[in-house]
Structure 1
């Protein structure tokens, strides 16, 4: 006791330092995203901001993140959340998130115009795209067309996440584009007809634990997934999984970064958001996990950029999808899938 008292007298700054430290909690995706985001964004932020401690809570999906926030809405324990933009829209509509402005986050002036989406509480922090996953053991070269999914040689060796999963919705718009559809908001009948033809070839519409594992383990030879994870896994196990962006193009998936309404440390949360959207953090994270950056000033290495959909050639082929509008037709498309696609599997 005497030693502790003496230490307290000799080092009065210790208690003040702890009193001054601010803590925030960031909630985003778990697994490989969590590992890489901590190393490339969270840890460098804390090193440069010693007065702020960042705790990270990882959850598998955006829906689970939103569910957690709903449960603690009266007394938020999370300060910043990263999630898919369509789920973030729901959180904004429910006042779970506080809208942020360029006055609060001047870094927003550096962002790609696609990152500033009307009706969303926070800006985009990553751009991703849907790709075809394939087994290099079955393909000598990467597939170049989405139509490979309709090749009967792959019967029983294909995994697809069906709607309401965003991957299934994205594939619907890709298929509709392949089939000559012109306005997905009015009708995706052409795409659904084409997907119905693919259905008998599909092994599972709900790969467990997820589609990347199904390909890596050899359970399937083809699937659809997100580019960032596909590229990361392909670097780790190049002989077991690859990710291809077919010549017909694809659709973007966008994650936004959001300030939780009622955060007890909103100033510190905004400091973190500013850093996460900054050019340096965007560069580092892109080079580690291949999400396309939303900050236009991020000087990303060419070899990393080549693994994203952000090259001019690929950008020109991307199918323009307004995911906020898609939220209005999600249930209808899901029901159409049950009747016109899943029933034929």
Structure 2
């Protein structure tokens, strides 16, 4: 009898456990089905901006196929062009009917679009990889994220320059550099950053235009260009022996055998960056958010690192052993990158351009 009682009680517990397990299983199944439905909803066409040339080739040959494989049902279409064209089309179309779902561009162009309400907030649950992005690369209110970083510092000819630069101020104080300097002009965002940087170096604030122009004029004679590719050529050809250049370009030149060195100045670096944002009026936000999240994942960030030597924004990316020796800086140096008020710069641009043309040309 006792054994029967114990047996019955044990049987009852088993049934109760079974019912709990069955209920839990049903709930899990429902969640799984819901998850599959949510996944199925991440489909359709996704229009993403892209530069041409090697960038387009990499997007079409590597990035897009890898994303589509991981997100079946999504078809990515690339809008090839330049930032100025994308901005113009976005403004003509209006916030509610954008021609693009995801805009990849420099912050100089992204900041005004963001201020005008063209970009959507990136939800934390839809873009979880954003939590691993370096804090100074996160956009306020998460209306975009700086996903790729090209730190800008000083590049020099190792075979012709005896005094290796350590700071931006060396451009002014090292006699050896006189007449051998290369800078970006006002057309390039790096030229606009140079004005803010020079103001900061000599006044502590980044908006003293008078001081900036006066100090830049002291560097004359110098070569100036509006394109990073031209700066690379000037360095290789020896027309410039020390110049402002992004690290990815310097790494490429060095790997090709050019006698090029690169340093991160002690006062901080500036940067070329790629802001990735979802348009407020996108008709396919699920896929757009998925694309941004995918751009921030470790594996994708490493793809860009290997292809173009862009510094990963994701701090969890481990620098590959075969890449680390050629990278002058890593994610640990991202906090040393200086940030600027691009809304102010864009507002001042007509005056900056006019003055540059009068005083620096």
TM-score by length of 1: 0.75
Q: 1:287 aligns with which of 298, 306, 314?
A: 306
Deviation at 1:102, TM superposition (A): 1.1
Q: Secondary structure at the match of 1:41?
A: helix
| Alpha-carbon distance in 1 for matches of 2:204, 2:239 | 35
Evaluate the alpha carbon distance shift between residue 35 and residue 216 of structure 1 in structure 2; reply closer, same or farther with a 3 A threshold.
farther
Give 2:66's match in structure 1, choosing from 25, 41, 44. 44
Q: CA deviation at 1:223?
A: 3.0
Q: Label 1:159 to 1:125 Cα distance change in 2 as closer, same or farther (>3 A).
A: same
Q: Which among 229, 232, 249 is matched to residue 252 of structure 2?
A: 232
Q: Deviations over 1:103-158 (max 9, x none)?
A: 33222223222232215621221233212233456447864443554466666654
The whole-number CA distance in structure 1 between the counterparts of 2:52 and 2:233 is 15
Deviation at 1:178, TM superposition (A): 3.7
Per-residue deviation, 1:82: 0.9
Quick one: structure 1 residues 129 and 136, their matched pair in 2 at CA, closer, same or farther if it must change by over 3 Å?
A: same
C-alpha displacement at 1:27, in angstroms?
0.7
| Equivalent residues in 2 for 1:170-189, closer than 5 Å | 170-179=193-202, 181-185=203-207, 187-189=208-210
Residue of structure 2 in register with 1:297 after alignment: 316
3-state SS of 1:54 partner:
strand
The corresponding residue for 1:99 is 121
Contact kept, 8 Å, 2:187 with 2:353, in 1: the verdict is no
Q: More helix by proportion, 1 or 2?
A: 2
Q: Is the 8 A contact 1:291 1:308 kept in 2?
A: no
CA distances 1:283-309 after superposition (whole Å, capped 9, x unpaired): 232233222222222222256356264
Question: Against the structure 1 CA distance between its residues 111 and 212, is the aligned structure 2 distance closer, same or farther, given a 3 Å change threshold?
Answer: same
The alignment's TM-score, normalised by the length of structure 2, stands at 0.72
**Kept after mapping to 2: 8 A contact 1:122/1:259:** yes
Which of 195, 212, 218 lines up with 1:197 in the alignment? Answer: 218
How far apart are the structure 2 equivalents of 1:311 and 1:121? 22
Give 5+ residue unaligned stretches, structure 2: 1-41
Deviates more, 1:277-286 or 1:125-134: 125-134
Does the CA contact (< 8 Å) of 1:292 and 1:308 recur in 2? no
1:101 deviates by 1.9
Question: Structure 1 stretches of 5 or more lacking a match?
Answer: 1-19
Partner SS state of residue 146, structure 1: coil
1:134 to 147, 152, 156: 156
Q: 1:163 — aligned with what?
A: 186
RMSD: 3.5
Distance 2:118 2:78 in 1: 19
Question: 2:330 matched to 1:343?
Answer: no
State the aligned residue count: 317
Task: Pick the structure with greater CA Rg.
Answer: 2
Partner of 1:69: 90
Residue 88 of structure 2 aligns to a residue whose secondary structure is: helix
Residue 29 of structure 2 corresponds to none
Cα distance per residue 1:185-210 (max 9 Å; x no partner): 4x354443321101x21233545974
